[in-house]
Amino acid sequence: AQSVTQPDIHITVSEGASLELRCNYSYGATPYLFWYVQSPGQGLQLLLKYFSGDTLVQGIKGFEAEFKRSQSSFNLRKPSVHWSDAAEYFCAGLTTDSWGKLQFGAGTQVVVTP
Amino acid sequence: DGGITQSPKYLFRKEGQNVTLSCEQNLNHDAMYWYRQDPGQGLRLIYYSQIVNDFQKGDIAEGYSVSREKKESFPLTVTSAQKNPTAFYLCASSPGVRGTEAFFGQGTRLTVV
């Protein structure tokens, strides 16, 4: 079955440290992939997206993600986290025949400590 | 400003009552979606609409109903048949072109009392 998996439910990181959030996908063909961020009680904001081409994608707020076909992964990274990066992060996938029906991972909660 | 407006932000419902959540967009998007969010489960698709006067069931449509009479509006009714309606509900829209991302509203938190 087509799916997106986020193996880490919760990550704690120190302010100024690097962050990497994992996302694995299971699709027959290369999907469109997205990372969204959600602050408590709010909607989702798009951080970045991958459709094709360069496998390293730059997004907003200093985030980037790398698409690795061999590992079926689309991990999100930030070199130096800020306290404002504390939020829940969702990876989502979309196949070429699924017309906008995003499939979401379960999310990773990021806590930033001083 | 263009965007998606969901109202109300908080909603309380007594058991056995139907309740309607509002979603309006001024992005001129063709497609609209309703998701349900529960802790640890990500977002699950309830209903989606690709065009006015047409909509399809998503993965968890039981106990919910929708209408799409106008391009900019996609209200969701949570009926008394929904056994566990307490959740955070998110409305989204997209241009409808294959592969484009969805834009989300700020959500409605529904609590059954």
Question: Which among A25, A9, A2, A39 has a CA at the least distance from the CA of B39?
Answer: A9
Cα B88 to Cα B90: distance, rounded to the nearest angstrom: 7
Mean pLDDT of B24-40: 93
Contacts of A107 in chain B (CB under 8 A): 40, 42
Q: Does residue A19 carry a pLDDT above 90?
A: yes
DSSP result, A70-111: GGTEEEEEESS--GGG-EEEEEEEE-TTSTT--EE---EEEE
User: So what's the pLDDT on residue A77?
Assistant: 98
Chain B residues within 8 A of A104 when measuring between CB atoms = 35, 42-44
pLDDT at A101: 79
> 3-state class of A60 per DSSP?
helix
* B99/A102 CB distance under 8 A: no
pLDDT band at A60 (very low <50, low <70, confident <90, very high): very high
Phi, psi angle pair for A107, to nearest 5°: 95, 150
Nearest chain A CA: its distance from B98 CA (Å): 5
Residue that wins the pLDDT comparison between B112 and A17? A17
Q: Give the separation between CA B9 and CA B6, rounded to whole angstroms.
A: 7
Model pLDDT for residues B41-96, shown as the tens digit of each residue: 889 999 999 999 999 999 999 999 999 999 999 999 999 888 899 999 999 999 87
Rounded average pLDDT over A87-100:
83
Q: Is the pLDDT of residue B98 over 90?
A: no
Inter-chain residue contact A46 with B103, CB threshold 8 Å: yes
Residue A41 binned pLDDT confidence (cut-offs 50, 70, 90): confident
Residues 65-104 of B with CB under 8 A from A: 88, 90, 92, 94, 96, 98-104
> For residue A9, is it left (φ>0), alpha (ψ between -120 and 50) or beta?
alpha
From B38, B37, B11, B14, select the one nearest B22 (Cα to Cα). Answer: B11
One-letter amino acid at B25 equals Q
Do B101 and A46 lie within an 8 Å CB cutoff? yes
First to last CA, chain A: 41
The more confident residue out of A104 and A99 is: A104
- Closest CA of chain A from B27, distance in Å: 16
- Which tokens hold the place of B77? 């009714």
pLDDT score, position A100 = 67
Of A42, A100, A106, the CB nearest to B102: A100
Residue B99's pLDDT is what? 66
- Is residue A106's pLDDT more than 80? yes
Coil, strand, or helix at residue B95?
A: coil
Residue B91: predicted pLDDT: 97
Measured between CB atoms, which of B42, B98, B107 is closest to A42? B107
Among candidates B35, B98, B104 on the partner chain, residue whose Cβ is nearest the Cβ of A99: B98
- Residue partners of A111: CB distance under 8 A and separation at least 6: A10, A11, A12, A13, A86
Instruction: Calculate the average pLDDT of chain A.
Output: 92
